[in-house]
Amino acid sequence: MLGKIFLLKGDLDKAIEIYKKAVEFSPENTELLTTLGLLYLQLGIYQKAFEHLGNTLTYDPTNYKAILAAGSMMQTHGDFDVALTKYKVVACAVIESPPLWNNIGMCFFGKKKYVAAISCLKRANYLAPLDWKILYNLGLVHLTMQQYASAFHFLSAAINFQPKMGELYMLLAVALTNLEDSENAKRAYEEAVRLDKCNPLVNLNYAVLLYNQGEKRDALAQYQEMEKKVNLLKYSSSLEFDPEMVEVAQKLGAALQVGEALVWTKPVKDPKSKHQTASTSKAARFQQPLGSNQALGQAMSSAATCRKLSSGAGGTSQLTKPPSLPLEPEPTVEAQPTEASAQTREK
């Protein structure tokens, strides 16, 4: 109970210490082991998470929370087929689980089976209509399929439940750009920039929109802000940048005649499925449009703790932390997902 109180206060470190002591007294208590594993998973400490979840499955091979969490870790690392195999086991025990259908949907998204992904996510949304992570993922998949009106619908709903997450406003701006509503797209980007102080994708996408609208001075300001964030991330974390993000940034830098000094290191794909959506914004009269307005980030599955880019409901001070790790431990020891991917944001 003391551990649950710390979880309610949002003090994960203290909660972990309490649960570690509890496990010392009750090393075979699967509920305590699962909760501790989920907390480590929420913090991205995968080795310890795997250890505690493995101990849970040793004592209870049918523990659906531990299986779902293990599947989400596999999903995070791109092993979608293996993760789906795990989820089939869970489906036999709890067929009406929103985190389960969310994660299955994001597995199909990672496999580029978008219709199946939407079908599973719609089922998850039916079971948990107030879960913003599921709405986020639905918006992400619709963006990928270039169904921008539907993406706007789901992303707007997600923002109503999670109004402090900058990346949601960025994706909403991408949808608005493709719906040719550049004024509201700018407002959405401004809100995203205000809320998100760490993710360079926000500034990059905003700069692309401004450049295509002919506002080169403002585009340059956003590009320079992106450079600052990139340089900070290079030296403060082991995050690797998406190659497509690097390519777009280099093209924009060349178009603005800046950016030669920006050195991109570790251009590797992100651990979660990426959300890449093109936004066809109108070009300025005397310019060619720079190209795609990329909405890249982690595809977040709807159960993670998205300790987002420096705050708490879906992000940390990394480029993006899945707004959904598997089964986020809550005071009732329930699940919460990823990506996600964040690119993804699982339960």
Summarize pLDDT for 117-161 with one digit per residue, the tens: 999 999 999 999 999 999 999 999 999 999 999 999 999 999 999
Domain that holds residue 195: 152-263+294-301
Question: In this predicted structure, what is the pLDDT of residue 264?
Answer: 53
- The first and second tokens of residue 59, run together, are 């004592």
Write down the residue that tokens 């599947």 correspond to.
Answer: 71
Q: Between 265 and 209, where is the model more confident?
A: 209
Question: In this predicted structure, what is the pLDDT of residue 150?
Answer: 95
**Mean of the pLDDT values across residues 50-65?**
86
Alpha helices in the chain (DSSP H): 2-9, 12-25, 30-42, 46-59, 64-76, 80-93, 98-110, 114-127, 132-144, 148-161, 166-178, 182-195, 200-212, 216-236, 243-255
pLDDT tens digits for range 228-275 = 888 888 777 666 777 888 888 888 888 888 755 555 544 444 433 333
CB 98 within 8 Å of CB 135:
no
Identity of residue 94:
V
Total number of domains in the chain: 1
Q: What is the mean pLDDT of the chain?
A: 76
Question: In this predicted structure, what is the pLDDT of residue 95?
Answer: 87
Where residue 57 falls among pLDDT bands split at 50, 70, 90? confident
Q: Is 214 left (phi over 0), alpha (psi -120 to 50) or beta?
A: left
**What share of the chain has pLDDT > 70, as a percent?**
73
Could you tell me if residue 258 is inside a domain?
yes
Q: Between 330 and 193, where is the model more confident?
A: 193
**What is the four-CA torsion angle of 278, 138, 334, 332, rounded to 10 degrees?**
100
Question: In this predicted structure, what is the pLDDT of residue 237?
Answer: 66
CA distances from 331 to 27, 39, 71, 304, 327 (A): 20, 12, 22, 15, 12
Which CATH number is 166's domain given?
Answer: 1.25.40.10
Question: In this predicted structure, what is the pLDDT of residue 12?
Answer: 87
Could you tell me if residue 250 is inside a domain?
yes
Where residue 324 falls among pLDDT bands split at 50, 70, 90? very low
pLDDT tens digits for range 166-206 = 999 999 999 999 999 989 999 999 999 999 888 888 999 99
Could you tell me if residue 243 is inside a domain?
yes
Could you tell me if residue 147 is inside a domain?
no
d(CA 191, CA 171): 12
pLDDT tens digits for range 78-120 = 889 989 988 988 888 888 899 999 999 999 999 999 999 999 9
Q: Between 123 and 297, where is the model more confident?
A: 123
